[in-house]
Structure 1
């Protein structure tokens, strides 16, 4: 009614604008508000599906500044992809801004949940397992509880965002599998300690040749983890065959020359992979683990273990074990890690 509108104009606050819904209800909004502010005041769903607006029957742009006594009709579409981030620069009300931000936060979380879950599934397959062997709801829930997540979705989202890596999750799943299926695991994933076959001309299956010595156990020392390309030396151990060390290994350098050393060399025709451990020291930051994962994935290097801790100075210290074919591959991996933003040092780890 005309009388009501006149009285309303008299009582209006200068920092607010009063508008009408199509049904004649009055809604107050901050001065400078737009049809988008109005849509979100009505309902989040209306705001998220908003694609246009009419003022007093005329179509207006979404950045139109509302005036007192405007009657507003919001045009929505069920096929809308949701709000634009640019709307945050247009809207005036804190309520609209909050609801728009929530939409994107929820959308990003859903995306990260999917990304994280897919990354974990890929890593399980890359480690040589079937999804049904490791990706079990109760095992996932154990990890959720141990790592202080509220739900499995939060865990997946964390992996998708890069706060943690899929390898951290899969390592724990493999540990659970190994605990419940020890014999099956050991049979499936044999260690590098290999019994040489007895033949007239033995073919070394360990990747190392010992001149004039056949049928002897060979194992690679975990203290220095030698890989092809490293200078190596063999050390005869009682009851355990020959232990292969890097020539610069402190355990070998400090050992007395007691006649238990033996000359060894790499078998250049061997196609085996070997484990090598790297220590990475970096400023702790969001996305660090994802950047590291991107590097070794791009080089098609398989990571088999990861331990991460952050000290009181907010320095992240990571020990990662990789499967490597030769030392030049390891050198390239270290070189690329050093280029990552925030990395302080990267080096081969010696126990």
Structure 2
């Protein structure tokens, strides 16, 4: 009771504030997404995501050198292939855009960086959906064989972690099975376990050339109104063999990050998505907010909610800011 208890005593000194801070953000918490575009020969800025670029396959290593210098330990690779078809055939090509990029990173950097790959068909299909399509229905079970084969090809190329993002039932089990059968027991699975049908993804579709030609993704991605369902989804993926579970998007779903981390005690990732990034950038361009400090505060809130790792387009900016603070 006041005056014996004075909460402000612990806030008076910057050194004491640092000593008792509960949530701490570090560059080691960050994963940087990279878009690798097989159709370009030099990097191209993404209009709806200022400061983000599509990179040609031979331009990725230079980008990653900078990440290593900043202390960022991991990348998440998305591929934009030269050819697409209804079945996403090029996703399984052993000489595909992501497969070749993984090999180039390994040749240049060895084990200095954790390579994570997105495992989904949406960037590789002409219709832009995450699975095999019949009419306007996205088929679950025929899709599993495709994404399992895609994951295996990434593991063969040298990926450390494969990250299935299509929200297909049984995707983790199918991938774990084919990896184990082929001697890749040590390849991790980071499952997009609670991925919502969110309006925050719009700039990503521009970045990854993955807009859909009909309908939407609400028949396989989660309803934003459902929380208990996310717990069930995560539990199933853990039982199927997921090593890391993910919540996507971040800011509007931090309650789920907290619940999932508290319930399962599993390594938990969160994806700060394109819409979150672009909103901050747009507001900063208008002079309404301090971009760097807002980005830092947003990502600190993700750590406070329980995220062990954060996939974010702001990774480089945050790492530089943290260096300035130090």
Specify the TM-score bucket, using the shorter chain as the normaliser.
Answer: under 0.3
Which structure shows the higher helix fraction? 2
Q: Which has the higher strand share?
A: 1
**Structure of greater relative contact order (alpha carbons < 8 Å, 6+ residues apart):** 2
Larger radius of gyration: 1
User: So what's the TM-score if we normalise by structure 2?
Assistant: 0.23
* TM-score relative to the length of structure 1: 0.22
